[in-house]
Structure 1
Amino acid sequence: MTKDKKSFDIILLIILLSYFMILLDNSIIFTGTIKISQNLHLNQTELSWVTNAYSLTFGGFLLFGGRAGDIFGRKFIFQIGLFIFGLGSLLVSISQSATFIILSRAFQGIGSSFLAPTSLALLMDNYKGHARTKAVSYYGATAGIGASIGLVIGGFFASLLSWRYGFFINIPISIIMLILSQKYLAKSETNTGSIDYIGTITSLIGMIALVYSIDGESYRLISFIIAVISLAIFIYQEYICKNPMMPLHLFKNGERLGAYVARFLFLGAMLSFWFLTPQIMQTELHFTPLMAGIGFFPLTIVNFFVAMKVAKLTLRFGNGRLLAIGLSITLVGMLLVSFFSSHLGYFIGIAIPMVLLGIGQGLSLSPLTIAGIAHTEAEEAGAASDIVNTVHQIGGSVGLSIIIAITGLFSHNTYNIGMLIGTGFLFIALMFTIFLIIPSEKKSA
């Protein structure tokens, strides 16, 4: 192995490990939710905001982070993100109240918003052709594996030590990544231009207000009006801005548009599954947090092995058709888990559907990523990857908020209702794949 090849592999390791770390923290909270709610006296809505605060600032600043990477250099912004993320992890680990942990998670999300777009952009800078497809498949696999393993790690710490350790471990990892990135990442090129501050502020306010209008406790109508006005201003700003964070012409391609909508819905369903299932395991099956985390092994293990085959399967079936297969399998798994009851037990009620969810997730995330950045020029790669990550985070947050709000109207079978709504999300995502992504892919071939 040559020195260049070694450096190349280390660059891939830095990118994937950093991305893995931020996704890990997006899910590590789930198996510790019962302990966190008991420790900090949180209700279900406050608990959902511990997740949403992270997702919203993550998604809300993603476009800003990507643009800042283009202007100031991706390596520099990547390192700033590592610092903020590490500091935010420390703040979460010492939280003593609902307000403090929600604000700390929001701060941590800002660090993630700098890391995610620059990591994918750095990956695309270093890979071309089929090697890029293979690298993106690893990136997509990391998205699923990071979320799944986070559940296990969160359960381990919540059961044997404290949920706080799940965040504290990010501090040394962030420091190591900073050292490696300084040594192995080449200084990125910078571009002239300006940052769209109006777009950044209006998009962030709009998304936070939208989610609050769904599951907030008061002023929901006012929040919805603020969301509509802010998002309208954001779209107009992107239309008239010379250097927009989110170039609207990227949505004109049917394959990319379908991928954004499908990913939004897919993450809405899956984040709700990751949020609610560990709780149902602990309340209905009396699992410890660690047992609940281990209970996700059927999904995690299957997802890992399937995701490793995606590059070959894409060459055989095509990206769009493989995505349709993955979404169909995920839909069946989600439908099956919606019939869960304590009488069925873990293996029939949860483990078997999880196998299907693992297969479907493994087959879906990479094709969704590939379709989301399809047919982009080099100068558009950063913006396209930013939109992919933004949709990933905001879709999960909005989907979870919708499901929490609707299930809150019922006193019984709330988990089953939530999973049925998630099944509906996946069905709509499948329709967008069949009727928009696949035809657009064929036209571009």
Structure 2
Amino acid sequence: MPSEKSVTFPKGSLFHQDTLKHLKFICILIACGLDLASVGAMIVLVTDIETRFNVSHTQSGWALTSYVITFAGFIAFFGRVGDIVGNGIMMCVFSVIFGIFSLLCAVVPNFIAFTVFRAFQGMAGAGIVPCAYALVNKMFQGPNLQRYFSILSSVISAMAGVGFIIGGAFGETALGYKSFFYFLFAASLATAAVICVLIGYPELLLNRHSYKEKFQRVYKLDVIGCLLFISGSILLVVGLTQGGESWNDPTAYVPLAVSIVLLIIFFMWNLGYAVVLKLIKPISTHKGYAYMESVNLLIPKNLMFSHNFIPVLLATFFLFCGFMVVMYVIANYSATVEGNSMIVASIKIIPMISGLVLANGTVAYKQDLFKPKNALVVGSFISILGGAFFVPIKYVDDNLFWKLFFMGGFFTGLGGAFFFCYMITMAIGDAPDQYKALAGGIVQTSGQFGNEVSLSIVISLLGNQTTDKADLRDRFQNASYIVITAATISTLVSLFLVKGPLESSGDEEKQLSECSESTTSSNSNPENQIETVMVICPDTRDKKEETVDQYLA
């Protein structure tokens, strides 16, 4: 390997990994926070968009849906690309793109163009979040890693709620939703500038001699698998969103059915790729087989079956379901049944945010408060208690916020935060080193699917919101059962399927012992193994290529 790949910066240099480390971390937090706040704010700003563009309530919902569709569809893909090209470069580029499309959303004169730009903004957001996870994992080690993962999870989980409040405030201004996107534009570009100087540019210098090889690896990403996963993810979100309006509409059940088929085919293709190679070898040309053999799968098997990865994905899916329903019920009950303005309804989310901040602050201060598995169980169980406060919603006539919503939101935030911060540690910290951003992207995809499933169900339960307050209260009570059911399933998965973590995240000897039980082949690409009787150690080629990235802060 050329010596240029191991170049590092002298201690004290602006580009050294330990220089201004906390400023870099703050910029990563801001970039992720702006991304997630744009989702929460848009839930509140939909009414303003409906008025200013003169569109129906159903049409205005695409201001949020278009973002969520591309965010969920591309987050795993961009996480994979970030692991190959470099997470610092990806973070820098997508932060700039996010800011540019924020400006375009503010100035565009018609709703169709606005929706298209929101979709591109969602793609940019999908490039920011998984790379943030991977960068934090590189910046901090040992007990500090849990502390900063706790802070990151606090920001990511709380900013959707903060977005409610910010959106409500900007919605009251003369410019309405436009003022919010101007704010996103300015904040995103300012943050991107610091990220480019402190993270992106040093990474570019350190990897400048290997980018040709890195982009060749991107070129060899599994095209079929990527198309199946992205298409399936996008259609799943579309189907669930449309299902919230009516499950009898073909625009709901057709995309949903197609998405399920595509995702099943994707996982069969991904897991059976080695079998495919065996089948085509006798009938393919040498050049064609060599290309197929060198393809990099979107979700490699050694990530998919890594320690606790699948159980954590399942638990995350269900806890996100309940978490989003609580946020939606508090804000929408206050607006529809109690007749509060959207900014007042948004402020009622504060107890939920307080629970998030308190729990994450506690974990950041005392990292060993829980063992990771226990934290998932405790967090999910506390979320069940939070959901229980919403069950008697139709029996309480006055002071509902103080009697039910305050403690229900607080417990949901508290339990969610305990779960989120340790979930990130387990999903990303225990993933193979070369797939950290991809692991973060897949976890976020799972959570986003949970959000969409729960929202589609709760919107279907609420139906067309009539002026009959008694009927609405019955429907909101039914929605509360989703919270309890989802949190209960998350508790059971965490209790019975999640195992204790690896002794040390990224422990090479532990990873080695796990991989030594797998079989291999003469295949030149370690991700596409054809089984033989041989047993090998993990391939170090990718680790060497990624070693330079470890210098970055």
Same fold at TM > 0.5: yes
3-state SS, counterpart of residue 315 of structure 1: coil
3-state SS, counterpart of residue 259 of structure 1: helix
Residue 72 of structure 1 pairs with residue 125 of structure 2? no
Q: C-alpha separation between the residues in 1 aligned to 2:61 and 2:454?
A: 11
* Structure number, greater radius of gyration: 2
Among residues 84, 87, 103, which one is paired with 2:97 in the alignment? Answer: 84
Among residues 423, 427, 442, which one is paired with 2:488 in the alignment? Answer: 427
Comparing 17-26 with 210-219, greater Cα deviation is found at 210-219
Per-residue displacement from partner, 1:372-395 (whole Å, max 9, x unpaired)?
224223113232222122222232
Corresponding residue number in structure 1 for 2:70: 57
CA contact (8 A) 2:65 2:241 kept: no
Q: C-alpha separation between the residues in 1 aligned to 2:68 and 2:178?
A: 19
| Counterpart AA for 1:405 | S
Which runs of 5 or more structure 2 residues have no equivalent in the other structure? 1-11, 243-248, 274-291, 505-553
Residue 351 of structure 1 pairs with residue 406 of structure 2? yes
Q: C-alpha separation between the residues in 2 aligned to 1:343 and 1:47?
A: 32
CA contact (8 A) 1:340 1:350 kept: no
Corresponding residue number in structure 2 for 1:309: 362
Paired residue total? 442
| Counterpart AA for 1:270 | F
Residue 231 of structure 1 pairs with residue 263 of structure 2? yes
Alignment TM-score, normalising by the size of structure 2: 0.73
Per-residue displacement from partner, 1:215-239 (whole Å, max 9, x unpaired)?
4343444323321332133223433
Alignment of 1:3-402 (within 5 A): 5-40=18-53, 45-46=58-59, 48-94=61-107, 99-161=112-174, 162-185=176-199, 186-187=202-203, 189=207, 191=214, 193=217, 194-216=220-242, 217-239=249-271, 240=273, 242-253=295-306, 255-341=308-394, 343-345=397-399, 346-402=401-457
Q: C-alpha separation between the residues in 1 aligned to 2:398 and 2:108?
A: 38
Comparing 316-325 with 94-103, greater Cα deviation is found at 94-103
3-state SS, counterpart of residue 392 of structure 2: coil
3-state SS, counterpart of residue 296 of structure 2: coil
TM-fit CA distance, 1:61: 0.7
CA contact (8 A) 1:159 1:289 kept: no
| Percentage of identical aligned residues | 20
Which runs of 5 or more structure 1 residues have no equivalent in the other structure? none
| Counterpart AA for 2:437 | G
3-state SS, counterpart of residue 187 of structure 1: helix
Seen in structure 2, the aligned counterparts of structure 1 residues 436 and 95 have a Cα distance that, compared at 3 Å, is: farther
Seen in structure 2, the aligned counterparts of structure 1 residues 251 and 329 have a Cα distance that, compared at 3 Å, is: same
| Counterpart AA for 2:325 | S
Seen in structure 2, the aligned counterparts of structure 1 residues 301 and 181 have a Cα distance that, compared at 3 Å, is: same
Q: C-alpha separation between the residues in 1 aligned to 2:465 and 2:190?
A: 47
3-state SS, counterpart of residue 91 of structure 1: helix
CA contact (8 A) 2:359 2:418 kept: yes
TM-fit CA distance, 1:172: 0.8
More helix, by proportion:
1
| Counterpart AA for 1:309 | T
Q: C-alpha separation between the residues in 2 aligned to 1:333 and 1:295?
A: 15
Corresponding residue number in structure 2 for 1:441: 500
Q: C-alpha separation between the residues in 2 aligned to 1:340 and 1:93?
A: 39
3-state SS, counterpart of residue 494 of structure 2: helix
CA contact (8 A) 1:215 1:402 kept: no
Question: What's the Cα RMSD here?
Answer: 2.7
Q: C-alpha separation between the residues in 2 aligned to 1:214 and 1:296?
A: 25
CA contact (8 A) 2:326 2:409 kept: no
Comparing 364-373 with 212-221, greater Cα deviation is found at 212-221
Q: C-alpha separation between the residues in 2 aligned to 1:222 and 1:441?
A: 41
CA contact (8 A) 2:133 2:436 kept: no
Per-residue displacement from partner, 1:136-174 (whole Å, max 9, x unpaired)?
111111112212211111111113441332222110111
Q: C-alpha separation between the residues in 2 aligned to 1:34 and 1:347?
A: 27
| Counterpart AA for 1:228 | I
CA contact (8 A) 1:328 1:430 kept: yes
| Counterpart AA for 2:143 | H
TM-fit CA distance, 1:43: 5.4
Corresponding residue number in structure 1 for 2:520: none
Q: C-alpha separation between the residues in 1 aligned to 2:415 and 2:82?
A: 33
Residue 405 of structure 1 pairs with residue 460 of structure 2? yes
Alignment TM-score, normalising by the size of structure 1: 0.90
Q: C-alpha separation between the residues in 2 aligned to 1:423 and 1:25?
A: 27
Comparing 15-24 with 161-170, greater Cα deviation is found at 161-170
3-state SS, counterpart of residue 128 of structure 1: coil
Q: C-alpha separation between the residues in 1 aligned to 2:418 and 2:55?
A: 36
Q: C-alpha separation between the residues in 2 aligned to 1:443 and 1:125?
A: 18
| Counterpart AA for 1:17 | I
Seen in structure 2, the aligned counterparts of structure 1 residues 11 and 275 have a Cα distance that, compared at 3 Å, is: same
| Counterpart AA for 1:8 | K
Seen in structure 2, the aligned counterparts of structure 1 residues 281 and 101 have a Cα distance that, compared at 3 Å, is: farther
Q: C-alpha separation between the residues in 1 aligned to 2:431 and 2:352?
A: 33
Q: C-alpha separation between the residues in 1 aligned to 2:139 and 2:301?
A: 26
